[in-house]
Amino acid sequence: MPAGESFYITTPIYYPSDVPHIGHGYTTVAVDTLARWHRQSGDDTWMLTGTDEHGQKMLRAAAANNVTPQEWVDRLVGEAWFPLLDTLDVANDDFIRTTQQRHEERVQQFVQAIYDHGHIYAGEYEALYCVGCEEFKPDSEIVDGTGPFEGLKVCLIHSKPLELLQEKNYFFKLSEFQDRLLELYREQPDFVRPESARNEVVSFVRQGLKDLSISRSAFDWGIKVPWDDSHVIYVWVDALLNYVTAVGYGTDPEEFARRWPAHHVVGKDILRFHAVIWPAMLMAAGVDVPKSVFAHGWLLVGGEKMSKSKLTGIAPSEIIDVFGSDAYRFYFLSAISFGHDGSFSWEDLASRYQAELANGFGNLASRTTAMIQKYFDGVVPAAGEYTDADLTIQSHVAAAGKQADAAMEQFRIDDAIEAIWVIVDDLNGYITENEPWALAREESQRERLATVLYTCAESLRALSVLLSPVMPKATTTLWTALGAEDALGALTAQPIRDAGRWGQLPVGTKVHTLAPLFPRVESTA
Ligand code: MSP
């Protein structure tokens, strides 16, 4: 992608009916990492996240806690969802709440527009609804209950009983968009990623689409249907519209033209809403469809999708209080292939922390800065003549930068980290082979020692830049210790696509003492 282009990326907006868990944190740090990568590439980047505050799920959570739904969401958003962004070290540009006026008014405007275009009609409806999903369930996701729910129909995802709803509803003529959607998937093969998600969506749409109920009249916690205030707009229609209401749809045409369309990153549980219903809604309104929808997999705990309702929810702070936000980000983004399910376990997290962060990257940084302090009074020395081994490192650094960028461009975050990690592994091997501590004992090897340490310091310069979107804190600490802050300016101002170019850290840069980037963690077992 040429630098300077618009890059607008979103997380789903989460239900603040409860506190966040590590699954929500996973999506958010992935999106933040992609946004930081593009921001640091000079792209006109905008990252949006937020909360989805209407609907029956929220109404019930509030009732169970004896407060109004507005009080409930204000409390949860203020006490848990805003602080989560700090906990995870997320640099979002905006946070939208669907109870904000800027959203509610524009949702009504959008729904009125598609009504005026003849895409909505009134009808009767009777179907099984899952409040957990906030969705009328298709037959494929309705199963027989077991245990306490024996004899009842339950939701495949939540394993909770479905409710039979019978209402007069307004319907969106989703069925009319089948051909245009199939054409979209054909013309833009990257519209849905990864490939497995695309295949699922295409075969779902090929089977034919049913019209979608887009209003509810049994409760009033929602945005009123503009032409009939006895109905509120279906919570998913309200929620999907956040992606346009947050960037000026209907109010600020210039801003809207600058940002929209977006890339959406979502969990695979909500893929169809984003890859089928959402583009159809936009087509009906005559608004551009998103650039892409990327569906990532589920975090599994004990082999099952982690969720609060199944009591397997883990709060992000449980991990971050012990390992820190960088380790959280690194672990989930590198250990799980983005787009596939991945199992979480404390053992895996602890062992990767120790092997890859503490012993791998952290130790490399400590050794290099300590040796420059010890052997060259803390001043980055000039390299002498490069040997083949040194040139190999240089070419690997250049290749890692290119490969990581190509992978990030495809939203392959784990591949990008793997490409960058080649530098860490190479350099640790390079230090072992070159034994700078032995070179330091012989005056005749002074120039060789300088070349080896310059090679290490300059590679760490590249590593700091390339890893800063993934681990903003540790890389900033390293950047300062390398003296690069004084010599080259702020880390986030370094153009990431140029990170692999050799020779940027000036000779003579003053290196400072570096405390361990990833301190030893006491066993929690
Ligand atoms: N409010 C809707 C989304 C509306 S978007 C217009 C919603 N909210 S949610 O709070 O249930 O969040 C769902 C999202 O959280 C998933 O799509 C995924 O991004 C993330 N995850 C929730 N549980 C997860 C796992 N166990 N594993 C991975 N991601 C998970 O749906």
From first to last of its 525 residues, the chain has per-residue pLDDT tens of: 666 799 999 999 999 999 999 999 999 999 999 999 999 999 999 999 999 999 999 999 999 999 999 999 999 999 999 999 999 999 999 999 999 999 999 999 999 999 999 999 999 888 899 998 999 998 889 999 998 999 899 999 888 999 888 888 999 999 999 999 999 999 999 999 999 999 999 999 999 999 999 999 989 999 999 999 999 999 999 999 999 999 999 999 999 999 999 999 999 999 999 999 999 999 999 999 999 999 999 999 888 888 766 667 899 999 999 999 999 999 999 999 999 999 999 999 999 999 999 999 999 999 999 999 999 999 999 999 999 999 999 999 999 999 999 999 999 999 999 999 999 999 999 999 999 999 999 999 999 999 999 999 999 999 999 999 999 999 999 999 999 999 999 999 999 999 999 999 999 999 999 999 999 897 654
414 domain-assigned: yes
Q: Name the residue with the closest Cα to ligand 1, atom 13.
A: 14
Asked if residue 155 lies in contact with residue 307, where contact means CB atoms within 8 angstroms, the answer is no
308: annotated active-site residue: yes
Residue 367 lies in domain: 346-498
Residue 373 belongs to a domain with what CATH number? 1.10.730.10
456: annotated active-site residue: no
Residues 352, 354, 355, 358: is their CA dihedral positive or negative?
A: positive
Asked if residue 402 lies in contact with residue 491, where contact means CB atoms within 8 angstroms, the answer is no
- Token pair belonging to 399: 């290749």
Q: Which residues sit opposite 44 in a β-bridge?
A: 6
CA 474 to chain centre: 19
402 domain-assigned: yes
Cα 254 to Cα 197, 248, 457, distances in angstroms: 33, 8, 45
Q: What is the DSSP string of 205-232?
A: HHT----EE-EE-S---SPEETTEEEEE
Q: Which residues line ligand 1 (CB under 6 A)?
A: 12-15, 23-24, 26-27, 52, 239-240, 266-267, 269-270, 298-299, 305-307
Asked if residue 216 lies in contact with residue 222, where contact means CB atoms within 8 angstroms, the answer is yes
6 domain-assigned: no
Give the count of domains, the chain.
1
Q: Name the residue with the closest Cα to ligand 1, atom 18.
A: 267
336 domain-assigned: no
163 domain-assigned: no
451 domain-assigned: yes
155: annotated active-site residue: yes
From 21, 137, 268, 274, active-site residue: 21
Rg (CA), the chain: 26
From 158, 263, 296, 396, active-site residue: 158
Find where tokens 């461009």 sit: 409
24: annotated active-site residue: yes
Asked if residue 318 lies in contact with residue 175, where contact means CB atoms within 8 angstroms, the answer is no
115 domain-assigned: no
Residues in contact with 204: Cβ distance below 8 Å, sequence separation at least 6, in sequence order:
272, 276
CA 460/CA 479 separation, integer angstroms: 8
86 domain-assigned: no
For residue 236, how many other CB atoms are within 10 A of its CB? 21
